[in-house]
Amino acid sequence: MGYEFDFGALLQYLGFFLEGTAVTLGLTAVASLVGTGIGVAGAAAVGSKRPWLRKFVAAYVELIRNTPFIVQMFFFFFGLPSLGVRLSALAAAALAMTINLGAYAIEIIRAGLEGIAPGQGEAALSLGLGPLPIFGLVVLPQALANVYPALVGQITITMLESAVVSQIAVVDLTHVADFIQSRNFRSFETYLVVTVIYLLLAIGLRRLLAFAGRGLFAGRVK
């Protein structure tokens, strides 16, 4: 076998790796925060009395969950300019990731809301709370605590799927790998190192969010 592995050749690109990692994590952070917000709003809308709102949310969730992320991203980046909405690659990537995660978050949080016993809301009502505090202070925190592990799993999936944003020239971790292997022709070593970085990021992200969850929900997360 004539091939010799040379991982040392990658050391000089350390700065690029760090920058790419920062972009990947930044996109994930934006998508997670806004996506979870969409999830809460959407899940609340599923229980609304307005049929058109329920149908709209259901259509959104099904459309996103049954089409590939890469096609959604291409649609936002290449397709929207036809409607006069021109997005930078970074904005299109952030938008696609947020909208994607939002649909999954609605499903997850909706399941959490369904799991809360009606007595919780009724008890809060009998204490004189209005509809908004009942939802925001009583029902939602319990629902979020119950489905938090599923939400963390989905956020990790979004982070891993974001590797695809390199295809519209967002300079994320994968794009950095593409760039480096085009310079040093050590494609296998480069992609192997980046895969390991993704693996560590996934493990670290899960740990971090589990830790944050213990603080957020004060021991309620199982």
Partner 1 sequence: MNEFTLWDIVRNLLYAVPWTLLLSAIAFAGGGFVALILLVIGLGSNKPVRVAVKLYVELFQSTPLLMQLFLVYFGLPLLGIDVSAWLAAGSCLTLYSSAFLTDIWRGSVEAIPKGQWEGSSSLGLHYLAQLRLVILPQATRMAIPPTVGFLVQLVKSTALASIVGYHELTKTAQILTNATFQPFVIFGAVALLYFLICYPLTRWSRGLEKQLARQY
Of 116 and 160, nearer to partner 1 (C-beta) is 160
Query: What token pair was written down for 142?
Result: 């319990």
Q: 168, 5, 192, 12: which is closest to 81 by C-alpha?
A: 168
Measured at the alpha carbon of residue 118, what is the angle toward residues 112 and 122, in degrees to the nearest 5? 130
Q: Which is nearer to partner 1, 65 or 214 (CB)?
A: 65
CB of 63 to partner 1, least distance (A): 6
Q: Which of the residues 150 through 169 are near partner 1 (CB under 8 A)?
A: 156, 160-164, 166-167
* CA 210 to the chain's CA centroid: 15
Under rule CB under 8 A, residue 203 binds partner 1: yes
CB nearer to partner 1: give 69 or 135: 69
- Fill in the DSSP letter of residue 128: T
Does position 66 interact with partner 1 (CB under 8 A)? The reply is yes
CA–CA distances in Å: residue 46 to residues 30, 69, 99, 129, 197:
24, 23, 17, 22, 38
Determine the Cα–Cα distance for residues 97 and 25; give it in Å rounded to an integer: 12
Structure tokens at 14: 């350390």
> Residue 71 interacts with partner 1 (CB under 8 A)?
yes
Select the residue interacting with partner 1 from 6, 26, 56, 75 (CB under 8 A): 75
Q: Tell me how far apart the alpha carbons of residues 202 and 174 are, in angstroms, rounded to a whole number.
A: 15
Q: How far is the CB of 137 from partner 1 (least distance, A)?
A: 32
Segment lying near partner 1 (by CB under 8 A), choices 102-110, 134-142, 143-151, 186-194: 186-194
Binding site for partner 1 (CB under 8 A): 1, 3, 62-63, 65-72, 74-75, 78-83, 156, 160-164, 166-167, 174, 177, 181, 187-188, 191-192, 194-195, 198-199, 202-203
